[in-house]
Every structure is written in C-alpha cells, then in structure tokens.
Amino acid sequence: MRRVPLLDRASDAYAATGPYGVLVRLAVLVASALSMGGAVVAGGTASPLLVVCAGLLALGTIARPDSHFGLALIAVLALHWYAADIPQPAWSLLPATAITVVHVLTAHAAIVPPRGQVQRAVVSRWAGHTAAVIAGTAAAWLLTLAFGQVHAGGLVLLTTTGVLLVLLVAVVLGVSSTAPDDA
C-alpha cells in the first residue's frame, strides 16, 4: 500500500511532539473552533467555504506551526468574523478573544521545540500578556458601547480615551516584560 507523503510528515511531526506541544497544538484547534462558533453564537452567519478553509488551515498549523499556515488561519478567522456580520457589537468579543488566543498559541507553538520543556515563568509571562491584551480589548469595547449611548457632538473624548488606554497597556506590558525575573 502506498503512503501519502503529506500524511507521513504530519504523523512523524506528531510522533516527535511531546505532551506540552500536543496540548498547545490542540488548544489552537479548539480556539479556532471557538472563534468560528463564537461568531455564529453572536448572531452572525457562517460561510461554509470559510469554515472548511479554517479547518484545513488549523490542521496545517497543528502539523507545521512554524510555517505560514498560522498566519493564513488568523486571516481566515478574521475574514469569517467580518463576513459573519454580527448584529450585536458587544458579542464580537467572543470571536475577537478566540482569534487573540489562536494568535498567541500559534506563535507559542512556532517557537517551542516539539519536545521542548517550557519553564513556568515563560508560560506565566505569555498568559499575563495575553490577559492584558484581552482585558484592554474588553475595556475598549465597553467604552465604545458606553460612548455609543451618549449623544455627543464629536468623538474626541472617545478617541482620546482609546489612545490613552492603548498607551497605558503598552507601558504596562513594556515594564512587565523588562522587569527582572525572580524565578
């Protein structure tokens, strides 16, 4: 029986991956599914073509996380989010958060060797930065919804608040990433 080379490489990559690598790669798959499902749960519509593309790209990302599959996956998830036409902007946080998680996990899987051991401090730092980005996104979303209820003549206040929040998050992440590590 003749074997398919692409499947051979994927099975070899899986066999060479340790438990942590498998967990990160499976989390990419789950977060991708949550992004697609989150857009539908939020009231949007799913494009079957984009769902199939995202599924195939997610599998490619799992097999080869250090390739361009991850970038293409994030682009397709963002396109699906846009094409889903979610009627309630507040519910857009579901796919936005899932896309952020896919991005972080894909980047993490790409830099960690298949059987590599990752220190707890590294995982904590990545999780902390991701949580800060998600919290900043949620805060900006809440401010946008709150300012949407205000009938103001201009959006100078909203723009200024948004810029200040982005600067604050950048400063906090910059300080926390350059702080000496006690671990």
Mean pLDDT confidence for 35-56: 86
pLDDT for residue 32: 93
Amino acid identity of residue 141, one-letter, is W
pLDDT for residue 76: 93
pLDDT for residue 43: 80
Q: Which residue has the higher pLDDT, 25 or 143?
A: 25
pLDDT for residue 7: 65
Over 90: is that where the pLDDT of 2 sits? no
- Give every CB contact of residue 158 below 8 A, 6+ residues apart in sequence: 143, 144, 147
Over 60: is that where the pLDDT of 42 sits? yes
Q: Distance (Å, rounded) from C-alpha 121 to C-alpha 169? A: 20
44 by Cβ neighbours in 10 Å (0-12 / 13-18 / 19+) ranks as buried
Over 90: is that where the pLDDT of 159 sits? no
Q: Distance (Å, rounded) from C-alpha 126 to C-alpha 104? A: 8
pLDDT for residue 129: 86
Over 70: is that where the pLDDT of 9 sits? no
Domain boundaries, given as residue ranges, for the chain:
1-115, 119-183
Average pLDDT score over the chain: 81
What percent of the chain is predicted at pLDDT more than 90?
19
